[in-house]
Amino acid sequence: MSELFAKYFPNVVYQGWTGDGGWLPAIGQTLYMTFWSAIFGGILGLIFGIGLVLTDEDGISPNRNLFSFFDKVVSLFRAIPFIILLAFIAPLTNLIVGTQIGTTAALVPLSLGVFPFYARQVQVALKSVDHGIIEAAQSVGATFSDLVFDVYLKEARAELIRVTTVTLISLIGLTAMAGAIGAGGLGNMAIAYGYNRFANDTTLVATLLVLILVLLVQLIGDLLAKVFNHKNA
């Protein structure tokens, strides 16, 4: 079996599992970039998404100036193509992590690239909360924090899980472009070691591994969304 695999996937075997350019480091780099960018970008996106809902004219704390600030920042970063964002914020990346290349350096543009998308997703999810529930909570004296955490976030948690799943899948796609700054990962494996060297088997296997990762994220997200949707029911 191994001989048959080596015959049809010689470049995959040549890459090896460990060492520079190995498959395990590439998988680890993709997971590393996805996880930490999801944490940093997710927190930022959640803050802006909540801010957009609360400060909107029909929110619980309407504020035109704050809403305009949140909206313009999110729209600005969404308008910048990710590959351009990589170069545009290079000085900021260097200031934060001390370098402009590498897996850790990619966390800065990845976080800033994914947060506006997630902020809009969070905004839509929180907007789906029934206003009747919000008004009922206000009528019994719910505080601002109660409304945010016990009403908005709790009632929308199933939808928040769904949009988080979509965002994670999008983020996995962005990690492929992060290879432009030497970030490594499966995307870089598919392009630098596969496409650029005419090693189609390497490109194929790298693509399949990305697809498996996406399918796992989708499966886990769907299961969690169903669980919390039943709890809300």
* Residue 195 to residue 151: CA distance in whole angstroms: 49
Given a cut of 80, whether residue 45 has pLDDT beyond it is yes
Query: pLDDT tens, 180-200?
Result: 567 788 888 888 777 778 888
- Whole-prediction pTM value? 0.89
Residue with tokens 């090693």: 199
Domain chopping of the chain, boundaries: 2-232
Joined together, the tokens standing for residue 119 give: 């902020």
Q: What is the CATH number of domain 2-232?
A: 1.10.3720.10
List the one residue out of 93, 221, 120 whose CA is nearest residue 169. 221
Sign of CA pseudo-dihedral 191, 213, 166, 34: negative
- In contact, 170 and 118? CB cutoff 8 Å: no
What is the per-residue DSSP string for 102-147?
SHHHHHHHHHHHHHHHHHHHHHHHHHTS-HHHHHHHHHTT--HHII
Query: Tokens for 152?
Result: 């908005």
Percent pLDDT > 70 in the chain is 94
Q: What pLDDT score does 233 carry?
A: 53
* Lowest pLDDT segment from 33-37, 126-130, 165-169, 217-221: 126-130
Query: HEC string of 171-182?
Result: HHHHHHHHHHHC
